[in-house]
Amino acid sequence: TSALLEVKNLKKVFTVGAGIKKKKVQAVRDVSFTINKGETFGLVGESGCGKSTTGRLAIRLIEPSSGSITFGEKDVTMAKEKELRTMRREMQMIFQDPYASLNPRMTIEKILTEPYKLQGLYTTEERNKRVISLMEEVGLRPAYRTRFPHEFSGGQRQRIGIARALALNPKLIVADEPVSALDVSVQAQVLNLMIDLQEKYGLSYLFISHDLSVVKYICHRVGVMYLGEIVEIGPKETLYENPLHPYTQALLSSIPSVDQRDRERIILSGDVPNPANPPSGCSFHPRCPSCMDICKIEKPAAKQIGDQLVSCHLYN
């Protein structure tokens, strides 16, 4: 395996409010991970933990406050607009709500030819040919290309979103909760489509979801985020069978599954703290059932345990 995307010590600070109420919010605090070619890397965690911001930072849809991003061996942290435009062909995004991300006044044909127009690629005839093959690729009838987004079901709209992301032959697709808005029966179809396309084109995915079952279905490796940090990373099999971080353990204990019948459900006390004012030491300490004195003072360093990377004082 070789790395396609490598992010190191990524940070993002947002300033919210104004005047004396102005506050700095650290949405992403020192996040590092790698995505290999042809791999699906999942980011899981409760809403507001910085998953979406991390996804957008990774492809520079928003600018990191610090840290570095390497894409295909190229340092793209400081890449300028012109360079970014070329890069954008290779890094695409699909969104949770395909309806909101599809222009309601455009036909599917218009929506799918737009990426080519923006990049100044191909003749009109060639573009139209490509639209037909894109639609076939995602399981939509090409005859529907003159229809508008509202004429499609949720699952079909997400197929259109995927087709649009595929238009420029990307290497990486950031998928932010791509099936969360869909009926459970449709979710598997869309996930299977993503898996088929990955196998066919060697695509890599950064797959963002709060749904641990969905992540288990599609991801090869998983990073667990809490309050802007990754607290544990590991291959799916190990992470789901033997979660090391108390937060991962709590998250996993809440998904009903046959093979986890004997795992006791861990109920976390309290809410996710305000990212504007993160707790001292280990950010998880106010909610952790295993909290020790040191946890309140010292931030745990990431430690490699087997093929898992975990940030918790229990393992030091």
Chain residues binding ligand SF4 by CB under 6 A are 245-246, 282, 284-285, 288, 290-292, 295, 300, 312-314
Give CA 47 to chain center in angstroms.
Answer: 12
192 binds, among ligand SF4, Mg ion, none (CB under 5 to 8 A by kind): none
CB of 95: closest distance to Mg ion in angstroms?
10
Kindly tell me which of 9 and 316 has the beta carbon lying closer to ligand SF4: 316
**Nearest to Mg ion by Cβ — which residue?**
52
Kindly tell me which of 140 and 227 has the beta carbon lying closer to ligand SF4: 227
Kindly tell me which of 192 and 290 has the beta carbon lying closer to ligand SF4: 290
Kindly tell me which of 240 and 247 has the beta carbon lying closer to ligand SF4: 247
Distance (Å, whole) CA 9 – CA 172: 20
Residue 53 as a binder of Mg ion (CB under 5 A): the answer is no
52 binds, among ligand SF4, Mg ion, none (CB under 5 to 8 A by kind): Mg ion
Distance (Å, whole) CA 228 – CA 236: 21
Rama region for 282: left / alpha / beta (φ>0; ψ in -120 to 50; rest): beta
Give CA 126 to chain center in angstroms.
Answer: 32
Distance (Å, whole) CA 295 – CA 314: 9
- Contact between 253 and 289 under an 8 Å Cβ cutoff? The reply is no
Figure out which of the listed residues 4, 28, 44, 52 binds Mg ion, where binding follows CB under 5 A: 52
Distance (Å, whole) CA 269 – CA 43: 23
CB of 226: closest distance to ligand SF4 in angstroms?
9
Q: Which residues contact 147 (CB under 8 A, 6 or more apart)?
A: 107, 108
300 binds, among Mg ion, ligand SF4, none (CB under 5 to 8 A by kind): ligand SF4
